[in-house]
Amino acid sequence: MIEGITLSSFLQLIWMEKRTCTLTIENDKKRGVLSIIKGELKHAECEGSEGLDAALEILSWNNVRIEMENKALILETISISIEGVILECVRLQDEKNKELSIEYEAIETNYSLGPDDSDGIEANPFPEKPEKIKKHITKKKEVRMNVSKLNEAVEILKETLGGALMATDIWSSADMQSIAGFNHQPVATALFGQIINSTNVALKDSGFPVLGKYCLFDLADGKMVVLIPMGDYAWGMLVDGKKVQLGLLLNIALPKAIGAFEEAITG
């Protein structure tokens, strides 16, 4: 039983290792099955449906529990690559988020919002659908990033470090999905996101302060990994220490990166 990692990230690990297995996926309300042969997703079942539709439904779940069995089902109802399935799920989620944002904007335009009201709405314009209104308002409040500025932050880091920057990703702490970067490393993104979370938990349980503006891992062959935790987001980078002085990295590159990152998140 595996918890604490997003399903899409786990599937990428399965693909890299070319594993053959059956995954039973559960969240708080639903249960589904994914069958994988030599790293490729071949079959999915969920709530009476099967094939690609079932796979996309399962991949849309958050906070899942994964149980792995080292054999696959014989059925083959999915013909596209596992990467194609993941990208299609991301595309559908983006479309859904845009629809929610548009509908919320319509509500916000036509009805006044009361700042003192705990639900963020002074008078419910659709009393027969109270939960729907709350969902739109909550979704709107969660979106607090400027993707174009995140990309600018990545460019600033590339200019400052030059050839010393080997790879970098900015990701959401909720699902460990990269939203900006260079030479993307999705597996590393998922694993380092978990390192930040588990490290903060260990520090809190020990009565220590949580991670500050960054943490640095000194690796073999002169390489370094730098992690910048920033609440709902995080930034990780792989740096060749042989091509950049540590003082330049800590005193110039990182402060610039953190400043650009903060502006992007609050902008």
Digits of tens for pLDDT over the chain (267 positions)?
Answer: 777 777 887 887 888 888 999 999 998 889 999 999 998 999 999 988 999 999 999 988 888 899 999 888 888 899 888 877 877 777 777 677 666 555 555 555 554 444 444 444 444 444 444 444 444 444 444 435 677 777 888 888 888 888 899 999 988 887 788 888 889 888 888 888 888 888 888 888 889 999 888 899 999 999 999 998 888 888 999 999 898 888 888 888 888 888 887 887 754
Per-residue pLDDT at 217:
92
CA atoms of 24 and 172, how far apart (whole Å): 25
Domain ranges for the chain: 7-79, 84-142, 147-266
Per-residue pLDDT at 115:
46
Topology classification of domain 147-266: Beta-Lactamase (3.30.450)
How would you list the strands of the sheet with 21-26, edge to edge?
49-50, 40-46, 31-37, 21-26, 65-69
Q: What are phi and psi of 182, to 5 degrees?
A: -145, 130
